[in-house]
Chains A and B, each alone.
Chain A
Amino acid sequence: MRKVLVLIEAKEGKVRGVSLEVLTAAQRIAGGGEIIAVAMGSDATHYAHLLGIHGANKVYIVSNEELDVYTTDAYAQVFGQILDQVAPEAILMPHSAMGKDLAPRIAARFGLGLVSDVIDVQIENEEVIFTRPIYSGKAFEKKKVVSGIPFATVRPNNIQVKEYKATVEIVRFYSEMKDLRTIVKEVVRKTTTGVDLSEAKVVISGGRGVKSSEGFKPLQELANVLGGAVGASRGACDADFCDYSLQIGQTGKVVTPDLYIACGISGAIQHLAGMSNSKVVIAINKDPEAPIFQIADYGIVGDLFEVVPLLTEELKKVLVNS
Chain B
Amino acid sequence: MNILVLVKQSFDTEEKIVLQDGVISEEGVNFIINPYDEYAIEEGIKLREEHGGEVTVITVGPEHSENALRTALAMGADKAVLVDSEDLNFDEYSTAKILAAVIKEREFDIILGGNVAVDYASGQVGPRLAEELDIPQVTAITKLDINGSEAIIERDVEGDKEVIQVALPVLLTTQQGLNEPRYPSLPGIMKAKKKPIERLELSDLDIEHDVEGKTVVTETFFSQKKGAGRILNGDIKDQVSELTALLRSEAKVI
Chain A interfacial positions (CB closer than 8 Å to B): 72-73, 76, 96-97, 100-105, 107-109, 111-117, 129, 133-136, 138-148, 181-191, 196-198, 202, 226, 243-247, 250-253, 258-259, 269-270, 273, 277, 279-283, 288, 293-302, 306-307, 310-311, 314-315, 318-319
B76 neighbours in A (Cβ, 8 Å): none
Given contacts A139-B220, A251-B35, 17 further A-B contacts (CB under 8 A): A73-B136, A96-B158, A97-B140, A104-B131, A108-B93, A117-B122, A135-B118, A138-B16, A142-B221, A143-B218, A146-B214, A181-B167, A182-B138, A198-B158, A259-B253, A277-B223, A297-B251
Chain B, interface residues (CB within 8 Å), range: 35 or more
B236 contacts A296, C-beta separation under 8 Å: no
Docked Cα-Cα span, A172 to B74, in Å, equals 56
Docked Cα-Cα span, A322 to B230, in Å, equals 26
- With A245-B159, A270-B13 known as contacts, the answer to whether A302 contacts B247 (CB < 8 A) is no
B166 contacts A245, C-beta separation under 8 Å: no
B226 within 8 A of A: yes
Segment at the A interface, from B55-63, B65-73, B237-245: B237-245
A184 neighbours in B (Cβ, 8 Å): 162-164
B214 contacts A300, C-beta separation under 8 Å: no
B214 neighbours in A (Cβ, 8 Å): 111-114, 145-148
Instruction: From A72, A104, A246, name the one whose CB has the most chain B CB atoms within 10 angstroms.
Output: A104
B215 contacts A136, C-beta separation under 8 Å: no
- With A113-B215, A136-B118, A145-B214 known as contacts, the answer to whether A185 contacts B163 (CB < 8 A) is yes
Please, could you name 20 A-B residue pairs with CB atoms under 8 Å apart, sorted by A?
A72-B137, A111-B214, A117-B122, A134-B119, A136-B13, A139-B222, A181-B167, A187-B163, A190-B160, A243-B159, A250-B13, A259-B253, A294-B228, A298-B232, A307-B239, A310-B237, A310-B240, A311-B240, A315-B254, A318-B244
A191 contacts B176, C-beta separation under 8 Å: no
Chain B interfacial positions (CB closer than 8 Å to A): 11, 13-14, 16-17, 19, 24, 35-36, 91-93, 96, 116, 118-132, 136-140, 152, 156-167, 176-177, 212-223, 226, 228-232, 236-237, 239-241, 243-244, 246-248, 251, 253-254
A189 neighbours in B (Cβ, 8 Å): 160
A97 neighbours in B (Cβ, 8 Å): 139-140, 156-158
